[in-house]
Amino acid sequence: MIRALAGAALVAALCVSGPAKAGPTEDAIAAAIQTLPTSRESADDGLIARDFLQNFYSGRDMRPAWFGKPVVGELNRALNKALTQGFRPADFDMGRLYELHDAALSGGPAELAAFDLLATDAAIRLVEYMVHGKVDPEKVSPSWNFNRPVIERDPVEVFDEYLDGPGFAALMELLWLDDFQYLQLIDALARYRQIEARGGWPEIADGAPLKPDMEDERLPALRQRLMAEGDLPVDTGAGLVYDAQTVVAVQSFQLRHGLTADGVVGPKTLASLNAPVSDRIDKLRLSLERFRWYVRGLGPDFVLVNIAGARTFVVLDGRPAWATRSITGSEYRQTPVFSDEIEYMVVNPTWSVPASIFRKDKLPRIRKDVGYLERNGYLVRNARGEVVSPGAVNWSAANPGVSIMQKPSENNALGRIKFMFPNAHSVYLHDTNDRELFDRDNRNLSSGCVRVEDPFVFAGLLMRKDSSWTQDRMQAILESGKTTRIDLPEPMPVLLTYWTAWVEDGVVQFREDPYERDAAVLKALNADS
């Protein structure tokens, strides 16, 4: 059975025409309803919304909803608009829908009934997929906890009101997403589909790394490849020399793909250049689907962490306000996908080292050099929480029976500030004492938490509604050296998400798939309904 429609679909009830006398078409629809299999697996007609169909047509005395009415054109336009947002014609059985429509034009009640049922099924699938996404995120992300939109009214009633009232287009106007990033992704998808329609881009042959001023027969293919995405202006450059203009274009490509922007076409850059345009299209479709999972119902202000891209964004009044480089979890200590609210900040934080990090990372270092603890500001506590001397601990034991805590300082692993949203994953955002890591191209390096570059700019944005908050106040707290909790004026939603494609400052960005999550989502997105 379908899930509930979005709350946005609830408007004032409209009058619905009363029951009409049953005719041949109504009888044909009733007969078709009676033959619907109860199990989707036993069906061969492509219909998925069986319970909905039965309730919908029973409620309207089996009257057809679509054929010969303006809503047919509205449905067609809506389905084609959905294709621009990453769906496939097969998601709505559009080929068969058009065949049945043609058959109904010259056929009888049975043909009309078959078309009408499939049209209703396609429409409810479109509504369902736009509201919740086609893929169930809970099946591909075990940490998923995002709220899903629901309504209290019967979706059958809502659907019936719109089809016999303001129309299907009016219903869809309430459901199309107008998120800034989502709309940019739609534009990017259209652009890359145009590239595909033109034949894609050439593959560049393997060989020695291409370096500036080198002469190489692969340069014409490289230029054509860079022109395809706009990194190099069309009809720019010629010859076999790797000239400065082409180097700049390669650097642009590298920046957009999270690669070292040195202008050298080495193995990683070559592999990215040779990825087919279909791969880029799939990444854009995946990002559109992931947006549909969570973006509906968001307020105008929120923080968004792109785990795969290692970027953190602040959105204010529905528009991107600030972005910064971040460090997210490694392949083996993955940052989870979930949502929460940042409630407070801690300036001059202590760091209680998690047991897993203590065992795997710290204990081997301490066994080699117990002085590591004092040099880096760690306190040792026994099972009762009492501070003990490092020399009193049997560090060679399999379980020394102690924990360690790092005192506030410039050397603290959390840096000078952390941003807290208490959660079951013990994940939060924080500063770092290892800031040179932000300069790395691959920043999936942490133990699960998210390190934020320019954390004090971030803090100022979170505190913008507190008129008493100033830079001087922050500086005074920092200089005190005391661990200080600062509550936000109001909680700030934070979304930890995973995109391998997005648009930033008008530039399409692509990344590799550090947690290898794309394949499972893409398989589900491309699966038959």
Is 52 a domain residue?
yes
Within this chain, do residues 25 and 82 fall inside the same structural domain, yes or no?
A: yes
Q: What is the pLDDT at residue 146?
A: 73
Say which residue, 37 or 253, is predicted with more confidence. Answer: 253
Is 187 a domain residue?
no
Res. 251: pLDDT tops 50: yes
Q: Which two tokens mark 237?
A: 């450059």
- Of all residues in the chain, the percent with pLDDT exceeding 90 is 75
Within this chain, do residues 212 and 229 fall inside the same structural domain, yes or no?
A: yes
Within this chain, do residues 212 and 257 fall inside the same structural domain, yes or no?
A: yes
Say which residue, 86 or 45, is predicted with more confidence. Answer: 86
Task: Choose the final residue of a domain: 140, 159, 176.
Answer: 176
Within this chain, do residues 134 and 239 fall inside the same structural domain, yes or no?
A: no
Averaged pLDDT for residues 130-157: 78
449 a catalytic residue? yes
Which of 101, 132, 257, 430 is labelled catalytic? Answer: 430
How far is the C-alpha of 148 from the C-alpha of 210, rounded, in Å? 49
**Would you place residue 271 in the very low, low, confident or very high pLDDT band (cuts 50, 70, 90)?**
very high
pLDDT in tens, 272-324: 999 999 999 999 999 999 999 988 878 899 999 999 999 999 999 999 999 99
132 a catalytic residue? no
Q: What is the pLDDT at residue 1?
A: 33
Res. 462: pLDDT tops 60: yes
Q: Smallest Cα–Cα separation from 155: which of 166, 169, 167, 171?
A: 171
Helices (H), 257-276: 267-273
Within this chain, do residues 334 and 465 fall inside the same structural domain, yes or no?
A: yes
How far is the C-alpha of 47 from the C-alpha of 529, rounded, in Å? 9
How many separate domains does the chain show? 4
Say which residue, 53 or 276, is predicted with more confidence. Answer: 276
- The maximal CA–CA distance of the chain, rounded, in angstroms, is 93
How far is the C-alpha of 350 from the C-alpha of 344, rounded, in Å? 15
DSSP SS3 for 340: strand
Res. 40: pLDDT tops 70: no
Within this chain, do residues 330 and 432 fall inside the same structural domain, yes or no?
A: yes
CATH number of residue 485's parent domain: 2.40.440.10
Long-range own/partner contacts, residues 96-99 (CB < 8 A, 24 or more apart) = 96/46, 97/122
Q: What is the mean pLDDT of the chain?
A: 89
Give the contacts of 318 (CB within 8 A, at least 6 positions apart).
179, 180, 300
DSSP SS3 for 346: strand
Averaged pLDDT for residues 86-107: 94
Which of 101, 132, 257, 449 is labelled catalytic? Answer: 449
Within this chain, do residues 346 and 359 fall inside the same structural domain, yes or no?
A: no
Within this chain, do residues 93 and 137 fall inside the same structural domain, yes or no?
A: yes
Res. 91: pLDDT tops 60: yes
Within this chain, do residues 471 and 326 fall inside the same structural domain, yes or no?
A: yes
Q: Which domain holds residue 486?
A: 298-350+411-498
Q: Which two tokens mark 212?
A: 């500036």
Q: Which helix (H) or strand (E) element contains residue 490? A: strand 484-497
Q: Say if CB 316 and CB 460 are below 8 A apart.
A: no
pLDDT in tens, 323-372: 999 999 999 899 999 999 999 999 999 999 988 889 988 999 999 999 99
Averaged pLDDT for residues 194-216: 96
pLDDT in tens, 475-489: 999 999 999 999 999
Within this chain, do residues 420 and 331 fall inside the same structural domain, yes or no?
A: yes
Q: Say if CB 187 and CB 240 are below 8 A apart.
A: no
Within this chain, do residues 211 and 136 fall inside the same structural domain, yes or no?
A: no
Res. 261: pLDDT tops 90: yes
- Of all residues in the chain, the percent with pLDDT exceeding 70 is 92
